[in-house]
Amino acid sequence: MAIKSVFVIGAGTMGNGIAQVSAQAGYNVTMSDIKDEFISKGIAAIEKSLDRGVKKGTMQESEKAEIISRIKTTLDMNDAKDADLIIEAAPEVIDLKKNIFKQLDGICKDDAILATNTSSLPIGEIAAATKRPEKVVGIHFMNPVPVIKGVEVIPGMKTSNDVLEASKEYVKSIGKEPCEAKDLSGFIVSRLVDVLMNEAIRCVMDGNKPEEIDKAMRLCCNFPIGPLELCDLAGADIVLHGTETIYSEFGERWTPAPLLKSMVQEGKLGRKTGRGFYDYTQK
């Protein structure tokens, strides 16, 4: 099936990035959320991201305007009825995602692909909320979406081969590379990276300074970003959800660090709340 239109659920960190890269590749995009203020924030983030290209000289003002004009916004999920590909990027809460997919099942046309951007929740469980699990797939973008080349594509047990292949084609069409992963908690990337972040948080609990941990991993291991900087970028709540989900599947070695839990309880989620392992209020 030829994908022409993309409907993105959630205008947050990931949703606005997915809307941007899809519109940049020429798709007609609709970005939805539950409140106008979240939509406005999402559009502002897209404009800021495209402005970087204009300032660098890699994009014309006219191109930016054209990309923005390809993104419609809505607060009504019923507007997904004609979309070819729906990508859900709502918060990492299984019941919320299952509820969204149940609703989509009643709204979307029969041949639509229903994708979730979940970092670690089982695709099969989300698919089971619909009567068309063969149309459900994981398309897991990385943060920041416009920058990172790799995208995990995760078929559930019942995902059809056509849906898997069309999902990979979509990923290639936006200039990215699909990496196929098994439908086990955390897939490949979160499963490996969450354990690193969780252990880095335990290093903080053992008395190491966040800036020394990140410096060590950047300079000694050539990492482009330290594990605690990455936790602040992703959001401590997302990392805790991921770690808890993977823990529930793989057991003891995955127990979330107590400091990670208390940071989430205190709202120290990272960049999005202005405070994580580092202070972002002055930047």
Residues that bind ligand NAD (CB under 6 A): 9-15, 32-34, 38, 89-92, 100, 117-119, 140-143, 234-235, 238
Q: Are 172 and 179 in contact (CB under 8 A)?
A: no
Backbone angles phi, psi at 123, to 5 degrees: -65, -40
Shortest reach from residue 168's CB to ligand NAD, in Å: 18
Nearest to 29 by CA among 45, 38, 47, 17: 17
Q: Specify the pairing of strand 150-155 against strand 113-116.
A: unpaired
Least distance CB 34 / ligand NAD (angstroms): 5
Closest CB 24 distance from ligand NAD, rounded Å: 18
Q: How far is the CB of 215 from ligand NAD (least distance, A)?
A: 22
- Conformational region of residue 187, where left means phi above 0, alpha means psi within -120 to 50, and beta covers everything else: left
Q: How far is the CB of 204 from ligand NAD (least distance, A)?
A: 20
- Cβ-based neighbour number of residue 79 at 10 Å: 15
Please report how close the Cβ of residue 79 comes to ligand NAD at its closest, in angstroms.
11
Q: What's the farthest any 2 CA atoms get from each other in the chain? A: 55
> Is residue 130 a contact partner of residue 97, using CB atoms and an 8 Å limit?
no
φ/ψ bin of 6: left (φ > 0), alpha (ψ from -120 to 50), beta (otherwise): beta
C-beta of 41 vs 59, nearer to ligand NAD: 41
Q: Which is nearer to ligand NAD, 145 or 204 (CB)?
A: 145
Do residues 109 and 81 lie in contact, with contact meaning Cβ atoms separated by under 8 Å? yes
| β-bridge mates for residue 6, sequence order | 29, 85
Q: Which is nearer to ligand NAD, 1 or 34 (CB)?
A: 34
Q: For ligand NAD, which is the closer residue by CB, 26 or 91?
A: 91
CB of 220 to ligand NAD, least distance (A): 24
The answer to whether 155 and 137 are in contact (CB under 8 A) is yes
From the list 182, 187, 177, the residue with the least C-alpha distance to 157 is 182
Nearer to ligand NAD, 9 or 127 (CB): 9
| Pair 33, 39: CB distance under 8 Å | yes
Phi, psi of 278 (to 5 degrees): -125, 165
